[in-house]
Amino acid sequence: MSEDYEGLEGVIAARTVLSDVDGAAGRLIIRGFALDALVGNVGFEETLGLLWAGFFDNLPAALQPPLGAARAEVFDEVRALDSTLIARTPMEAMRALTARLADGDDLPTALRLVAAPAVFTAAVIRARAGLAPVAPSPSAGHAADILRMSRGSSPSPAQAAALDAYLVSVCDHGLNASTFAARVVASTRPGLTSAVLAGIGALKGPLHGGAPGPVIDMLDAIGRPGNARSWIEAALERGDRLPGFGHRIYRVRDPRADVLKRTVRLLGDGSHELPGRLAFAEAVERAALDILKSRKPDRSLQTNVEFYTALLLEALGFPPAAFTCVFAMGRVAGWIAHAREQVATGRMVRPQSVYVGPEPRAAA
């Protein structure tokens, strides 16, 4: 097998009605809607209904009430958050609590799995700050309740809307690594919890959903716009990759980057610090794009979703260590839809490998 196949580039491994990523045009379609048409117009719970339509029997028209009830249900598991888990990364602690949920293929299991990263991450964030967990408010919107459970006080409508917009922006994205992992696991039919845990595991890596925390580290290390070029040149000289740039599929700008940048800008209206932070990040982005272009003229390395995710989640008060968990809160919607779609094909995923080891020999 040629090395070109190591990352399965160009291999079509699923037929999906869920989303389409056009890397050349910089376009993301989710169930027939361009991302721009969804974000800001359709809330997270409605998007969940859109993604899951046809994949569950008797899907209610409004998913906010059952999702609120599911948050209250999974909150019981927060009791298992002990000092060992609190000392781990938020993603590891959230994954461990999610693993306590029973496997199943029905809608209540699916809703508990959407509730899990939200409720568990909020509790983990508070526990790491020495604070007691805050119970869910089942009647609240999902995004507003995530912020309330994390902070202990209700967010402003603008903050809730910004998080809601983020969750919708990242709810699904073709056959990305975590979604593929979820589909592979789902295909052996262990149940949705196992598929979601596979997704969480893949998302955690710094090449996938683990990038936005390092974006903040990079911005903090650069400190001021004047340092951007020398810092970036030195990082690339060391062979580092710049978090928030590059993508396997997009050869133009990731459409989610602009949607999220707009959301940060809206959130910044009336704020003293955010416009300055945004202007600084834009200066770093310009320097990075310029340097990447001159160093890699043959490879179009553009801003990806993680760059402005970092700014948005920082502005909403999430600690960088928990950014990937917030990503999981949105992407879990897509993992579940893909898991159901994969099971519906009736086929287990089982590719082949080419053996390049030694010829058969006698055992010593």
**Residues at the interface with ligand ACO (CB under 6 A):** 7, 207-209, 211, 236, 241-248, 296, 299, 301, 304-306
From 141, 156, 104, select the one nearest 316 (Cα to Cα). 156
Catalytic residue among 142, 173, 208, 247: 247
Residue nearest to ligand ACO (CB): 246
Look up residue 74 and give its two tokens.
């999974």
Query: Contact, 110 vs 52, CB < 8 A?
Result: yes
Q: Is 269 left (phi over 0), alpha (psi -120 to 50) or beta?
A: beta
Q: Specify the residue, 21 or 113, whose C-beta has the smaller distance to ligand ACO.
A: 21
Catalytic residue among 45, 77, 306, 341: 306
DSSP per-residue codes, 8-70: TTT------SSEEEETTTTEEEETTEEHHHHTTTS-HHHHHHHHHTTTSTT--S--HHHHHHH
CA atoms within 13 A on the CB side of 181: 18
Q: Give CA torsion, residues 20, 23, 25, 26, to 10 deg.
A: 80
Q: Has 306 been annotated as catalytic?
A: yes
Look up residue 204 and give its two tokens.
């955690």
Q: Specify the residue, 106 or 233, whose C-beta has the smaller distance to ligand ACO.
A: 233
Q: To the nearest whole angstrom, how small is the minimum distance from the Cβ of residue 53 to ligand ACO?
A: 25
Q: Specify the residue, 304 or 342, whose C-beta has the smaller distance to ligand ACO.
A: 304
Look up residue 322 and give its two tokens.
């928990």
Look up residue 190 and give its two tokens.
């262990």
Q: To the nearest whole angstrom, how small is the minimum distance from the Cβ of residue 306 to ligand ACO?
A: 5
Q: To the nearest whole angstrom, how small is the minimum distance from the Cβ of residue 79 to ligand ACO?
A: 32
Q: To the nearest whole angstrom, how small is the minimum distance from the Cβ of residue 339 to ligand ACO?
A: 19
Q: Specify the residue, 64 or 309, whose C-beta has the smaller distance to ligand ACO.
A: 309
Q: Specify the residue, 132 or 207, whose C-beta has the smaller distance to ligand ACO.
A: 207
Q: To the nearest whole angstrom, how small is the minimum distance from the Cβ of residue 331 to ligand ACO?
A: 9
Catalytically active residues are: 247, 306
